[in-house]
Amino acid sequence: MIMNTLPTMQQHATPFNLQNNPVPAGEQLWLQQIRQNALQHFVKHGFPTTRQEDWKYTKITPLAEQVYYLPTRTQVSAEQIAEHLIPNLDSYLLVFVNGQYQTELAELSGLPAGVILCELTEALTQQPALVQAHLTKIAATAKHGLSALNTAHMQTGYFLHVPANIKLTKPIQLIFLSTEQELPTTYQLRNLVIADTHSKLTLIENYIGIGSTNYWTNTLTEIHVEDHAQVEHFKLLQESQSAYHTGTLSVQQGAHSQLNSHSFALGGRLIRSDSDIVQTAEYVSSELNGLYLAKGKQHIDHHTSIDHAQAYGSSRELYKGIIDEQGRAVFNGRVLVRQDAQKINAAQTNKNLLLSEQAEIDTKPQLEIYADDVKCAHGATVGQLNASELFYLRSRGLNEQTARSILTFAFANELLEFVNQIQLRNYLRHCIIQQLAQDPTILEML
Amino acid sequence: MLTIKNLHANIDDKAILKGINLQVNPGEVHAIMGPNGSGKSTLANVLVGREEYQITQGEVRFEDQDLLNMAPEERARAGIFLAFQYPVEIPGVSNINFLKAALNNVRAARGLAKLDAIDLLQQVKDKMQQVKMNPDFLYRSVNEGFSGGEKKRNEVLQMLLLEPKLALLDETDSGLDIDALKIVADGVNALRSPERAIVLVTHYQRLLDYIVPDFVHVLSGGQIIKSGDKNLALELEQQGYGWLTEARA
Ligand SMILES: Nc1ncnc2c1ncn2[C@@H]1O[C@H](COP(=O)(O)OP(=O)(O)O)[C@@H](O)[C@H]1O
Ligand SMILES: [Mg+2]
């Protein structure tokens, strides 16, 4: 394994190897140190392998074997980006194209005073102390090689700081677009969010790939949710059908805070999405929702981890998958209730709809409970479309294909009910139906 | 309109229908009665194309078509409607969208234009008033969490909207209080016309007080063992099925 990864490690290591000076000019020493430590960790451990329990079903050897290149400068016009924005959504906006931040396309007007929303590298110069105090403070480098790799090689990403008591009424839209390119490219994206006490915000990360380029997005988003803060986070994966997406969301929550994170994994050759939530104080609420649609030869793996470290916390997870053709999906939901975390209420549900004989799902709850006064529920189902429901629809004149489309969409629709933003919900509905390649007339019906 | 000849049907290799013969003409109302488990629902489901049943013998013609070769949706579009004994719940599909889809599909089959959203909603609401259903039910998932009576009313609502040529009602009156029963009966009577036919499966004479049938049939052991006029239902009400089934045994 290590042998296999060597050539690509060189490829990744070269630009960022401190001795070789690939570090952005003038980067602070503390960050150089962090990169170097992470790089050492990666060089030592390499890419995760299927021998590791957490990677048992997801083989990323193609990533290790592929030679990837660093992003090159790409510029797109506002018109080109317009078609990728969520229609009619009034939002703040940052745009990244092929791993490059697009300064001119940012939309920040009306941002309340004190709120900082910018590219991470800009934050490093404008707010070095703030960044230093938070960057890599949640995401454990040691978790797996990909996080280490991201830390070592982080290229760009967004930074958001919402000071105490500020409640953003408009969502923040973050576009990560990949266009058709000549060479396989890798984007090592690093995002950092600080939601101070009693603040409130909504993030919509939208990863979009056009064309059939093989590229690899490796993201790490750290969110600090301080006491009483409320964060709503969306991650839309619409990567190209040849693309690899590995991403980790690392969240740390303070007392009485709330985090809702929604993953919509619709496009990508291989997706591995980790959500790691740590409830560091009492009365924390965390909700994770996910929808994954795997078809063709797509492989979509969601790993969640909720660490109830303190008492009176709650967590709720609902992940639903629709798997067709030779698609394959993995769900692993870890819930850790530590010894002192009494009165925890945790619920986890994973439901899967298999639409073909070859479709495959590996689902596993992973409960580790060390406290005695807790409520912990979990359930997983795997099934096909319900024959009685299909017949009922057909008996009212709907043809079989339409009936199937309606029921398939209805299965997915439960996750849209958690989306309060009407424009976002409409957009997602559209994307889901497109990805399911279902009878578009059902849109009029739903 | 509907001609059933020597119809035999199995489920899981068990014979349920054992030679049904029935002729239904436009304008007629037929009541099918009979003990539990005699095959009434099986007959109704076979007529709308439920796939669990295997037809082993016989023929069914609807107008000039071979009904048994038609897909369920083709039968619906041809004008056959079954109000199910146990309507299915469909989580995630709103009642209004379901009604919209059903109505537009059936209309298209009849060469009628799609209704625009406003006209459609108006039509649905009018019919809902007729069956005394609260418009809130439009925005709930189809039948999900509906009470037994609400599900039955939702079936009648669909029937009124789709205006079938042949309406089959499978115990739509069971479990209804007298007010709900009247609503169902009014719905059926509103549909009655010289071009339409209605087949009611029921256990109770009380429904037939409101919808007076032209013919009453007793189905037992997978066969129609007796047919008569409305007076047969009154006799059954008083004497049960024993005298008929014993006479045959
Ligand atoms: N899905 C099924 N699987 C197995 N047996 C069935 C099924 N549906 C009906 N039956 C059997 O077929 C017979 C007739 O049932 P049914 O047509 O529902 O009777 P009725 O409507 O007259 O009460 C009964 O013995 C019943 O148990
Ligand atoms: Mg029955």
Q: Are residues A406 and A275 part of one domain?
A: no
User: Could you give phi then psi for residue B176, rounded to 5 degrees?
Assistant: -100, 145
pLDDT in tens, A200-243: 999 999 999 998 888 999 999 999 999 999 999 999 999 999 99
Residue A199 contacts residue A162 (beta carbons within 8 Å): yes
User: Could you give phi then psi for residue A359, rounded to 5 degrees?
Assistant: -60, 145
CA of residue B78 to ligand 2 center, whole Å: 24
Tell me the C-alpha distance between A351 and A321, whole Å.
Answer: 6
Q: Are residues A261 and A121 part of one domain?
A: yes
Q: Are residues A34 and A181 part of one domain?
A: yes
Instruction: Give, in degrees to the nearest 5, the angle at Cα B150 between B149 and B152.
Output: 65
In the listed set A225, A248, A281, which residue is the last one of a domain according to the structure? A281
Confidence at A2, pLDDT banded by 50, 70, 90: very low
Task: Retrieve residue A381's tokens.
Answer: 């189902």
Instruction: Give, in degrees to the nearest 5, the angle at Cα B211 between B209 and B216.
Output: 85
Q: Is residue A167 part of a domain?
A: yes
User: So what's the pLDDT on residue A254?
Assistant: 98
Tell me the C-alpha distance between A88 and A86, whole Å.
Answer: 6
Find the closest chain A residue to B97 by CA distance.
Answer: A445
Q: Is residue A189 part of a domain?
A: yes
Q: Is the pLDDT of residue A445 over 70?
A: no
**The domain containing residue A217 runs over which residues?**
5-281
Task: Retrieve residue B90's tokens.
Answer: 């469909």
Q: Are residues A219 and A94 part of one domain?
A: yes
User: Closest ligand 1 atom to the C-alpha of B42?
Assistant: 17
CB contact under 8 A, A396 and B90: no
Check if B15 contacts A (Cβ < 8 Å): no
- Residues in contact with B163: Cβ distance below 8 Å, sequence separation at least 6, in sequence order: B191
User: So what's the pLDDT on residue B220?
Assistant: 93
Residue B55 contacts residue B222 (beta carbons within 8 Å): no
Q: Are residues A394 and A254 part of one domain?
A: no
Task: Chain A: give the shortest CA distance to residue B115, in Å.
Answer: 12
Tell me the C-alpha distance between A247 and A255, whole Å.
Answer: 26
Q: Are residues A58 and A186 part of one domain?
A: yes
- The CA radius of gyration of chain B, in Å to the nearest whole number, is 18
Check if A443 contacts B (Cβ < 8 Å): no
Report how many domains make up chain A. Answer: 2
Q: Is residue A324 part of a domain?
A: no
Q: Is the pLDDT of residue A401 over 70?
A: yes
Check if B112 contacts A (Cβ < 8 Å): no
Q: Is residue A353 part of a domain?
A: no
Find the closest chain B residue to A446 by CA distance.
Answer: B97
Tell me the C-alpha distance between B102 and B127, whole Å.
Answer: 15
Residue A310 contacts residue A282 (beta carbons within 8 Å): yes
Q: How many CB atoms lie within 10 A of CB A417?
A: 10
Q: Are residues A187 and A67 part of one domain?
A: yes
In the listed set A225, A249, A281, which residue is the last one of a domain according to the structure? A281
Residue B115 contacts residue B146 (beta carbons within 8 Å): no
**Three-state secondary structure call for residue A393:** helix
Q: Is residue A371 part of a domain?
A: no
User: Which residues does ligand 1 sit against, CB inside 6 Å?
Assistant: B 11-12, 16, 34, 36-42, 52
Check if A410 contacts B (Cβ < 8 Å): yes
User: Closest ligand 1 atom to the C-alpha of B170?
Assistant: 21
In the listed set A248, A281, A314, which residue is the last one of a domain according to the structure? A281
The beta strand positions in B84-165, using DSSP E, are 90-94, 141-142
Residue A343 contacts residue A314 (beta carbons within 8 Å): no
Q: Residue A160 forms beta bridges with which residues? A: A117, A193
CA of residue A92 to ligand 1 center, whole Å: 61
Least confident span in A113-127, B108-122, B152-166? B108-122
Q: Is residue A244 part of a domain?
A: yes
- The CA radius of gyration of chain A, in Å to the nearest whole number, is 21
For residue A74, give the nearest of A179, A224, A150 by alpha carbon. Answer: A179
Write the single-letter amino acid at A237: L
pTM: 0.89
Q: Is residue A66 part of a domain?
A: yes
Check if A445 contacts B (Cβ < 8 Å): yes
- Residues in contact with B234: Cβ distance below 8 Å, sequence separation at least 6, in sequence order: B205
Q: Are residues A404 and A263 part of one domain?
A: no
Q: Starting from the edge strand earliest in sequence, which strands make up the sheet with B65-66, in order?
A: B14-24, B2-11, B54-62, B65-66
Q: Are residues A236 and A96 part of one domain?
A: yes
User: So what's the pLDDT on residue A212?
Assistant: 85
ipTM summary value: 0.96
pLDDT in tens, A166-191: 999 999 999 999 998 888 888 999 99
Write the single-letter amino acid at A407: L
B126-129 CB contacts, 8 Å cutoff, 24+ apart: B127/B157, B127/B160, B127/B161, B128/B157
Q: Which residue has the tokens 């290790």?
A: A64
Q: Are residues A256 and A404 part of one domain?
A: no
User: So what's the pLDDT on residue B244?
Assistant: 81
Q: What is the mean pLDDT of chain A?
A: 90
Best substitution site from B8, B20, B40, B42 to test ligand 1's pocket, by max atoms within 8 Å of Cβ? Answer: B42
**Three-state secondary structure call for residue A29:** helix
pLDDT in tens, A312-337: 999 999 999 999 999 999 999 999 99
CB contact under 8 A, B106 and A397: yes
- Residues in contact with B242: Cβ distance below 8 Å, sequence separation at least 6, in sequence order: none
- Residues in contact with A112: Cβ distance below 8 Å, sequence separation at least 6, in sequence order: A166, A168
Q: Are residues A239 and A90 part of one domain?
A: yes
Q: Is residue A323 part of a domain?
A: no
Q: What is the mean pLDDT of chain B?
A: 93
The CA dihedral of B230, B233, B238, B240, to the nearest 10 degrees, is 160
Nearest protein CA to atom 18 of ligand 1, as residue: B41
